[in-house]
Chain A
Amino acid sequence: MDPVLLVVSIMVSATPILLAAIGEMVVEKSGVLNLGVEGMMITGAVMGFAIAVGTGSPLLGFAGAAVAGAALSLCFGVLTQYLLSNQVATGLGLTLVGLGLSALIGSNYEGQRAPSLGRLDIPLLGDIPVLGRMLFSHDVMVYASLALVAAVWAFLRLTRAGLILRAVGEDHESAHALGYKVVRIRLAAIAFGGACAGLGGAYVSLVRVPQWTEGMTAGAGWIALAIVVFASWRALGVLIGAYLFGGVTVIQLNLQAAGTTLPVEILSMSPYLITILVLVIISARGVHGAPGSLGRSFHASS
């Protein structure tokens, strides 16, 4: 197997999960647990695909997917933040709504092909013999996802707004007492997470596959949730987790193609088994870094 191709395909298969996971990490940092990532991803996948096919522009497709993901996540936001519904139940509901909505919209698009997103060869760096093709000759979304990770890291770590967001997530009562608008900050974080999940979904339908089939995200949203736990709510950890997972997926697919003696089913279930294993190892060490108010409803009593 060509190592250059291997690295390229790992990066491609990691990008959707990376996008969804970095968004969800921001949401959880603000103290909200949105289990609807899968629903927002699949909605992003179908909206991105539909818009890209309709306009012929993949970039417009990505933009539309982000808007769709954010819009859907705001339904979750209104329910959990204003109507104080249970976050676990509402997140599950969001996933079910997203799966139904996407199947409904997508039924007209089965079998079509999306316009392809051109590769962006970075001048000079792209000319380096092996590394150039391996790392600097991807489509624009791969770089965007990496930039997003860096931006999220910098935002949470270095800016005042990031500090406020973390404060809201750690202890919403105290943040409220200090005069911060807990609900508004959380809604912004939820919308950001939805937009990221939508982008991740669109990457699956526009670049990775690139086609629309019903239920095509196949649990990527749930794996993104697991990666946030794996990462202990740190941006760098999310990056490592997503790329590790991308690696497992690609190796598993290559083994299937190569026709090993292992049954196909064992190989296809391996990413999920490895995710469980990783979750167990992380939790056995004791969960570190979960925001203090994660999953709790906030209602200002006065």
Chain B
Amino acid sequence: MIRLERRPEPSRLWTGVTPVLAVLLTMIVGGIMFAALGKPPLEAIRTIFWDPLFHPQFAGYSRPQLLVKAGPLILIAIGLSIGFRAGIWNIGAEGQYIMGAVCGAAVGLAFYPADSALLFPLMVVAGALGGWAWAMIPAVLRTKFGTNEILVSLMLVYVAENILASASSGWLRNPEGQGFPGSRNFKQWPAVFNDELVAGTGMHWGVVAAFIAVIAAYVLMARHIQGYNVRLTGEAPRAARFAGVSPVRIVFLCLGISGALAGAAGLFEVTGPAGQVSIDFGSGYGFTAIIVAFLGRLNPFGILLAGLLMALTYIGGELAQLMLGLPGASIQLFQGMLLFFLLATDVFTNYRLRFARRETA
């Protein structure tokens, strides 16, 4: 008879082991899935996890993509992880990401074709504010009326997608674009183009911001009183209230940070890799970042690694699509499975297995 026994404290060893175990399990089950699709499993796994970095022919292109994809994922996941620690479930980061891009791009395009060096920083601020404002809607509704922030933040994703559609086909459309949807291309506007800082690395301002966010989040959560309050609210809400922590402030803090970071991520993406506001701008980073946050154990440095790993699966997935004809959706399933296995193996962090004979009465 197998029985679960609660550990007095979460196991430190298992906290580190579970993500690795989850990745291994995903590889095994994913391999079986690929075999079922009639693709060679080992080759598929190698194409996804190894070739983007070390393939003699493709690595030159795909290695820089690692940072390009990991940047927004890490930036968004860092913000989400702070809220998840406090038990505040912002799952509408995708909407905040879109609104950040739309707001920042709108502010920038209002000054077209200025070439002031101040314009890009201004756009970053506008993007972060756009995402922040979008996240304030669930924050205000939750604190004023007690409305569930999960449902509200998610509904707002669909609203944001419609705003994006109207922006790209209407009020932000390129006046010189012969009526095609999509805004002016920022890549042709050097003053605001978020180009690679060092050629061939994929490092743009958004990636720099992601690294800064990792360190700032570490300082906040481990060294700052507000970070302590956030953790206390998540682990013992009653104790937090007695200690004088205002739940309202925590809600505003968590949703505000995650919204602003997601908005900034959107702005860096729209002025850099994406290049323009277009109808298919929302690429699901806001949802994948949820997986990244959990895979990184809600720990800033863990999220850094998880973001890189998830970026690898994106690039590897594209490569596998190209080389093996693997369906594009299989990588989405792969990422979802990763979260599932992580949550499943997480039981060992808080519980230990006891093998005991069934006692006879």
Contact = CB atoms under 8 A, between A and B. Distances in A.
Contacts of B329: 100, 102-104, 107, 214
Q: Interface SS of chain A: helix, strand, loop or mixed? A: helix
A239 to B, nearest CB: 20
B290 A92 contact: yes
A79 B333 CA distance: 17
A99 B89 CA distance: 20
Interface residues of A, number: 48
A225 interface: yes
Interface stretch (B59-67, B161-169, B264-272): B161-169
Given A83-B347, A85-B346, A89-B294, A104 B154 contact: no
Interface stretch (A63-71, A191-199, A205-213, A273-281): A273-281
Contacts of A188: none
Interface string B140-154: 010001111011101
A79 B89 CA distance: 19
A226 B162 contact: no
Q: Interface SS of chain B: helix, strand, loop or mixed? A: helix
Contacts of A85: 343-344, 346-347
- Name, among A102, A103, A264, A272, the residue most crowded by chain B CB atoms within 10 Å (CB to CB): A272
A2 interface: no
B265 to A, nearest CB: 19
B327 A92 contact: no
B136 interface: no
B146 A83 contact: no
A276 B163 CA distance: 16
A265 B336 contact: no
Contacts of B89: 88
Interface string A215-253: 000110010011001000000000000000000000000
B155 A226 contact: yes
A35 B145 CA distance: 22
B207 interface: no
A100 B333 contact: yes
A101 B333 contact: yes
B145 A284 contact: yes
A162 interface: no
B146 A100 contact: no
A84 interface: yes
A184 interface: no
Contacts of B4: 84, 299
Contacts of B346: 83, 85
Contacts of B185: none
A273 B339 CA distance: 30
